Every structure is written in structure tokens, then in C-alpha cells.
Structure 1
Amino acid sequence: MKETCGIVLVGMAGYGEKYLNTLDGQKRFSWINGIVDIHPERSAYLDKIRSHNIPIYDSLESFYEVDTADLAIISTPIHLHAQQAITAMENGSHVLCEKPMTGSLEEAEHMRQVRDRTGRFVAIGFNWSFSDSVHEWKQDIQQGLFGAPIRGRTIVLWPRDEAYYNRSNWAGKCYGPNGEPIFDSIANNATSHFFHHLLYALGDTVEHSAKLHSLTTELYRANPIETFDTCAIRAKTDQDIELMFLASHAVNRKHGPQFEMVFERATIYYNAGGNMKAVWLDGTEKSYGDPESEHMHKLDVCIQAILQGDSDIRCGIEAAYSHLLGIKSMHEAVPDIPFFPPDRVKRDSETMVTYVPGLAETLMECYQEHTLPGESNCSWAYTGQTTDVPDEDYPY
């Protein structure tokens, strides 16, 4: 059994700082063989990196010219994920790639082929899918403790300010400067964990998510972006299980994530700050803890897999495919995403949040009633289009 795991971190600012903070807290800074970042001065950890004499490179290729790593952590913009993950695997590293996996099916398939050829693992950083609480719950689902699944729903209302959309030149964009697929949106970034979670929990194995059969899609935007900041989705799996996902950044109050999964004999509940628990029809309860408290457990899972010589990862490429296909289907269903009516959009001069008054309440009501805005009396809403997800899009 190995005693240390050499790490190269690609992207040390932004979310990369969470990895640095975790490694620092675990006294594993000495495991970092190198950092890759073209703007290291943007990271609050720059001085500490320098004090530990950790070299900083401007490309992953230049790192591998002089060093190796057991694990490459990819914490960079979406359109860089695929090529950097492939470069890492080609140079002998296992990969922990931040969510989403990539921006296109073609890139995902290329990653899968390289993974299979090199024998490296690729973990996709959907936080909850690596948590012990979700892992235990998924095992109980597979063992039939709750009976057959019937339906699930999730709502996430997270305000995002002007700075969030100005944080990079790819925020809210469909494509990068060279045509690279990005599709950065509320469903493909900040709240992607929770859309993916509905699918992952119902996967047949630890390494798979439920397959999508169809989606009914409503997308909206209040902010001046190319994609969407608000979505209302009703998905059907290939087992005819209904899943609803409601999310918005264009709100002036925070709520969630909150989710509920109904089975034949029990219902699973979660609301932010509490524990995920199952409640059976006879009143029996079981608590699984709070998956949000295991935010960085994905790093521990990957490190332990390398130390123990295990290539089985809870959430890899196959598990992330359904989320990727869901995003693809959303944009195909609504290629021209409508803005909310201008007279309904406000901007808070203190918080710098652009929001739609009453939107949070409307989405909460939709969550309670199992409806989409276009199925209610919302004057700004349209009736969502239902599109099929071809089974051949799943390559496994």
C-alpha cells in the first residue's frame, strides 16, 4: 500500500482554493508536486505555495515534462476539462475533474476511451455522490429497503450577484473563444450537484446514474447571459420515474437545496442544514447525516483509491453521463432562451442581484404542487417542450 499520493493541482484560484485549504488542513501540502495556473497571483494561497517551494507551471504539459503525479485535480473552466483530463491520463495520472464533466458528448466519449486505454480512473466532482451518507442511502435503495422509486423533486434558490457573472470570460456562455462547448448555467454549474443527485441516487450500480428517457424543459434568464439563470425541468427515467428540478439565481432570497424522493414504502427528505432521512409509512425513521457536510470527501475517496490500488470510483464518467445528456437536451429543446419580461426584472442596488420579484414564491409553489411554471397561471411562463433522450447516446 502506498503511503503518499503525489498531486498536481490544475487551477489554484477560485474553487482550486478549496482543494488547497483541504490539503492544508490534512497536513498534505507536501504531497503537492506542482501547481498549474496561468494567473497564480489571483490565489490567496500564492505565498504559502511559494513558501513550500511548490513549483508553478503555465501548462499541464510543462509540468509533465519534469515531474509526475498520482492524481491530477482539474479545477479549471468547463471547456478545459476534457483536454486536461486526457493529458493527465496520458501521462500516468488518475484524475479528479470538477463538475460538470465537460461540455459535449464527443469530449466525454474521448475521455472514456483514454481512461479505458490507460487504466487510470476519472472521478467527476459532484460532491454528494462521494459522500458516505449518499453512498449508504444508495445501497439501501439497491437493496430494496424502500420499495420501488416513484418520483423525486429538488428545488434550489441561490441568488447570484453581478460579480458572479463577471468572474470570468466564460461565465454564462455557450461556447468558448474557439468554439469550445461550455454551456455554463445554473444547471451546469452552481446547482448541477443537485440535478445530478436525483439521477445518481437511482442508478443501478454505484458507478451509474439513472438513464434519462425524456425531459420537459422551461428555461429563462433575467441576467444578460447566453444561457439561463432559471430552469424548471420534469424528467422521466427509462424506468418511468418522474424527477422534477427547479432552480434559479434570479431570486432575492436563498432556499435549499431541498429534495424529496418518494418510494413505495418510504419517503426520503432533505433540506439544507439538516440531515437526509428516510421515513417509512409506519413512522420508522433512519438518518443518513448531511451530505453537504462532506463537501470535499471526493478528494479523500480519490486519494484512498490510489493508496489502496483501487480503480473503482463512486462517481466517474458513466455516472456523469445522464447530467451531461440532460444539459444537452435542455439546450436543444430551448435553443433561444427567453428573457423574463423587462418590467418584471429588478436589480438590488445593495446586493447587486438581478432578480424577479415573486419568482422564488412561484417556484416554491411549483415544488409543492409538482407543476412547472408553464402549467400554472404565470403570465411570463411558456409551456415546456418534451424531448426524448435517445438510448444510443449512452455508450455503456
Structure 2
Amino acid sequence: MLKIAIIGVSGYGKIIYDLCKNSEKTKDVKVTAAVIRTPSKCPDVYEEIIESGGQVFSDAESMFSSMKGQLDLVCIPTGIETHASLSIAAMEAGAHVMVEKPAAGTVEEVDTMMEASKRTGKIVAVGFQDIYRNDIQEIKKKLLTKEWGEVKSVSVLGSWPRPKMYYRRNNWAGRLKSGDSMIFDSPANNALAHYMNLGLYLVGENFKSSASIATIDAESFRAYQIETFDTLICRAKTNSGIQFHYTVTHASAENFEPIVSIKTDKYKIVLACDSNKVYDLENNLITELEHNDTWTGRNNIIPAVVDKINGHNSFICDLSIARSHTLFINRLHSQNSSREFSPELVYETVIENNEHLVVKGLLPALKEASSKGALFSEIGYKFN
């Protein structure tokens, strides 16, 4: 039986805890330990772990010291700034790792994690949930065999409005750093990071790799008073010559569920929240593909990691895949400075009882830019 530990069981950590508990029904695993700093905030989980014979610790260091060599898998759904240090500590304590996305704040940290994985022989899986979906993996295989032709471009477009309270929920939201650690919190490295990673993965040169970026042109903006950006439009090119266009925002009044569009020399493959479809270049529907939702991918993470630990040929999002996303983020910030939207464009509104800052005409402009593979400055959108 594989023994699982979780560092943090509130917030998103509770979702990971539930996924682990669900895996107890289908896999030979058991949650035997957890780090819970404040048991009064999650009394039900605390009591459940204790009643099942597990142990609860107030910090990760105590758990690793007490249970060194006794844990098989440690799940780390914690802040970005802790991903590298906790993952390495878990491996050195004898455990494999499932760490939440992104893998870390900097590519140097990811490289250090990869070195620790090689040194200890331990697996590190990253929680980019969408590429654990069976439909995504099948699409990747078809792209590699060129069943739909030669891939020319991939684009991502999404708008997830976020209220003022989103940037007040902790002390690192929208910041470049947390303490001394770089985190680059933004739509591209947090809420909508899954779709950047997904686009990069789908056009990677083999099944277990993501594309590497050769060049980036970007324009990033903020309506909120934050250090990073709430709106990003960028055009990049992979080392193999594929154009990558990524357009996301938290500052629109309208919700637009992310769409990933892949164009080949013959077809367009459109991956939406509720369907996967293939069109010809005249936008005529050719076929509808199998579709799994995000929850399916999320539910697949722990079983896939467990199977991998047990020696099966199970696919996981490993550090080499996640590294491409982190490298993109790091280069984006090193080459681009964010600007503020003109105050004349920004207004306050209430969406679902929450106060938002939104930008006039933003989503139509993003859609136009995405359809043309362009930047704001190239379509005439006046952002300031």
C-alpha cells in the first residue's frame, strides 16, 4: 500500500485531499499524514485523518523528520514560492511528489527540482490537470502523426473576470515576489496557466514534451493596482517555427471560457470547455472528437501518479513539460514591462455581487487580436 501525505488541506488543498481519498477506493493507497497548521479551520479533515490512524503535523519539516522513509507520495498544493523547497525536501525524505502548478517561480528552481529528482530517483508530477485528460493525449498523438496535416499555429483565448477581492485574498496575489522568492502571479502563471501549458504541450515535438519558445512579442496591462498584469496578449514562435498566440484577461466584464485553437495546413482543431471539434480552413465542421472536461483531468492526476510510482507506463505532467511553461513566464517578464490601462477605459461594476474593475471594449479587442494573431498595437486598440 502506498502511503500519501498532503501539505495543507484547506482551499485547493481540500480538493487534492478529496482526490486522494477517492483514490483509496480504486487504488491501494492511504492518506496517512498531513500538515495542518490550524486544525480549527478544517476540523472535519483533521478528525478524519486522526480517526483513520494517520498523523497530523503543524509544519512540513516536522513531518519529513518524523516520517522519513515512511511516505511514498507527498502532495504539495501550496504557494508557488514553496514548491521547489518542499518538493526537494519531500524527495530527500524518500517520497515521490505531486506539486501544484506551476512547478516553481523560476526555471532555475525547476532545474534544481529536476536535479533532486535524478539524484533521489523520485518522480515529480505537476498538477497541470488538463494534460491528464485522455482526449488531450489522443489529440496530441494525432498531431504527432500529422493526421490533420502540418501544425502551423496554436492560439489560446480566455476571459475570466476576477473581482477586487481576488487581489486582496492573500499577500501575494498580483505580485512579482512573495518574500524573497519570485512568483510572477498573473493569469498566465495562475488561473489561466493551465491553458498556456496545454497549448505548449500540444505542439511539443514528442508525446512527452512541450514546445520551447524561441521568440516572444508581448503587451501586458493592468486595470487593477498590482505589480504584474491582469491582461496579456502575446505572440511567440517555438523553436520548430510554430506560432503561439496567447490572449487572456481578468479585467473584462464578460466571461469567455478558454479556447485552444490549433491550425494546420489543412484543418483547424478547436478545443473548448464543452467540445473538441475539427473544421476545415473554411470553418466547415468536419468531425467532433471525444471530449473530457477539466474535472476528468483533475480526477486522473492521483491515479496516474500512483500508477507511475508502481512502475506502470502511466503518463504524467513531469518537470520537463512544466519547465517549458516556467521558461515562457520568466522570459515574458524579463522582456516585457506591464502598463496601466488608461483610467478613461477602466470602470467599476458589480458582477455576481462582487465589485470588479473592467476595461471598456476589452473582450472584443482580445477576440480580434486572437483571430489575427496580432497585438493590441497592431489592431489599433487604444489602451492608453
TM-score, normalised via structure 2 length: 0.91
Q: Give the match for residue 125 of structure 1.
A: 127
What residue ranges of structure 1 are gaps of 5+ in the alignment? Answer: 382-396
Q: C-alpha deviations, 1:227-256, integer Å up to 9, x for none?
A: 111100111001111111110001111101
Give the counterpart of 2:302 among 299, 303, 321.
299
Amino acid in structure 2 at the alignment position of 1:33: T
Matched ranges for 1:134-153 at <5 A: 134-153=136-155
Q: Does 1:189 align with 2:186?
A: no
Alpha-carbon distance between aligned partners in 1 of 2:91 and 2:35, rounded to the nearest angstrom: 16
- Of residues 181-190 and 50-59 in structure 1, the stretch that sits farther from structure 2 once superposed is 50-59
Alpha-carbon distance between aligned partners in 2 of 1:344 and 1:145, rounded to the nearest angstrom: 45
Amino acid in structure 2 at the alignment position of 1:256: E
Residue 107 of structure 1 aligns to a residue in which SS?
helix
- Of residues 58-67 and 95-104 in structure 1, the stretch that sits farther from structure 2 once superposed is 58-67
Q: Give the match for residue 34 of structure 1.
A: 33
Contact 1:277 1:289 in 2 (8 A): no
Amino acid in structure 2 at the alignment position of 1:206: F
Alpha-carbon distance between aligned partners in 1 of 2:308 and 2:364, rounded to the nearest angstrom: 44
Deviation at 1:53, TM superposition (A): 4.8
Matched ranges for 1:95-114 at <5 A: 95-114=97-116
Amino acid in structure 2 at the alignment position of 1:35: A
Deviation at 1:217, TM superposition (A): 0.7
Q: C-alpha deviations, 1:142-170, integer Å up to 9, x for none?
A: 12211210111111100111222122111
Q: Give the match for residue 6 of structure 1.
A: 3
Q: C-alpha deviations, 1:303-324, integer Å up to 9, x for none?
A: 2222x32476431111112211
Q: Give the match for residue 339 of structure 1.
A: 340
TM-score, normalised via structure 1 length: 0.89
Deviation at 1:380, TM superposition (A): 1.3
Contact 1:81 1:97 in 2 (8 A): yes
Residue 302 of structure 1 aligns to a residue in which SS?
helix
Residue 340 of structure 2 aligns to a residue in which SS?
coil
Contact 1:223 1:229 in 2 (8 A): yes
Q: Give the match for residue 160 of structure 1.
A: 162
Q: Give the match for residue 66 of structure 1.
A: 66
Please, what is the CA RMSD of the aligned residues?
A: 2.1
Amino acid in structure 2 at the alignment position of 1:80: T
Residue 178 of structure 2 aligns to a residue in which SS?
coil
Change (3 A) 1:345 1:39: farther
Change (3 A) 1:147 1:353: same
Residue 278 of structure 2 aligns to a residue in which SS?
strand
Alpha-carbon distance between aligned partners in 1 of 2:19 and 2:316, rounded to the nearest angstrom: 20
Alpha-carbon distance between aligned partners in 2 of 1:124 and 1:88, rounded to the nearest angstrom: 14
Residue 187 of structure 2 aligns to a residue in which SS?
coil
Residue 315 of structure 1 aligns to a residue in which SS?
coil
Amino acid in structure 2 at the alignment position of 1:321: R
- Of residues 61-70 and 28-37 in structure 1, the stretch that sits farther from structure 2 once superposed is 28-37
Q: Give the match for residue 365 of structure 1.
A: 368
Q: Give the match for residue 354 of structure 1.
A: 357
- Of residues 260-269 and 149-158 in structure 1, the stretch that sits farther from structure 2 once superposed is 260-269
Contact 2:230 2:249 in 1 (8 A): yes
Deviation at 1:49, TM superposition (A): 3.9
Q: C-alpha deviations, 1:348-380, integer Å up to 9, x for none?
A: 243212111211221122222322212112121
- Of residues 202-211 and 148-157 in structure 1, the stretch that sits farther from structure 2 once superposed is 202-211
Deviation at 1:65, TM superposition (A): 2.3
Alpha-carbon distance between aligned partners in 2 of 1:231 and 1:51, rounded to the nearest angstrom: 47
Residue 285 of structure 1 aligns to a residue in which SS?
strand
Contact 1:13 1:40 in 2 (8 A): no
Q: Give the match for residue 384 of structure 1.
A: none
Greater percentage in strand? 2
Matched ranges for 1:165-244 at <5 A: 165-177=167-179, 179-244=180-245
Contact 1:89 1:115 in 2 (8 A): yes
Amino acid in structure 2 at the alignment position of 1:20: Y
Alpha-carbon distance between aligned partners in 1 of 2:321 and 2:147, rounded to the nearest angstrom: 22
Q: Give the match for residue 378 of structure 2.
A: 375
